[in-house]
Amino acid sequence: MLFRSTVLRVSPAGTVHHFAGRLLEDGVTGDGGAPLAARIGYPTALAWDPAGKRVLVGSSQTPRIRSIDLTDNRIGTLAGGGTDAEDGLVRDAQLSDVFGILAEPGGGILFTDGAGGRLRRLLPPRIEPHTP
């Protein structure tokens, strides 16, 4: 569940747990650190990878795709925050509102690029998280 700069997890019993982000703290920080300490500017899309090893979070205020690694509890930016509009390195990509995201079984990621009115695709192996 996404709520005001945070990602919440609902257990099977219905209990809500804070999973990532800092409530009401906008912006983008925390790459390489713990998800609870990171700032995630208005998360708008959420997906689990098919292997169950990471959660993908798309945001609109600071248009990025972030990856939360569930094996080492770290967050990193996969794409966004740059100025290249087309076909460059994903870490240099300029994104707009990311409102939909899907992790493909082969490791690719499909996502919407809102203002551009496009469906974009990131292909492995070039989608590893980076830290600034």
If you search the block for the tokens 């098919």, which residue do you land on? 50
pTM of the entire structure? 0.85
Tokens of residue 57, six digits: 């979070």
- By C-alpha distance, which of 42, 32, 31, 34 is closest to 7? 42
Residues of the chain with pLDDT under 70: 1, 84-91, 115-116, 125-132
**107 exposure class (CB count in 10 Å sphere: 0-12, 13-18, 19+):** middle
d(CA 2, CA 92): 26
Measured at the CA of 124, the angle between CA 120 and CA 129, to 5 degrees, comes to 90
Give tens-digit pLDDT for 74-97.
999 888 877 766 666 666 777 888
Give tens-digit pLDDT for 48-61.
999 889 999 998 88
Q: What is the DSSP letter of 44?
A: E
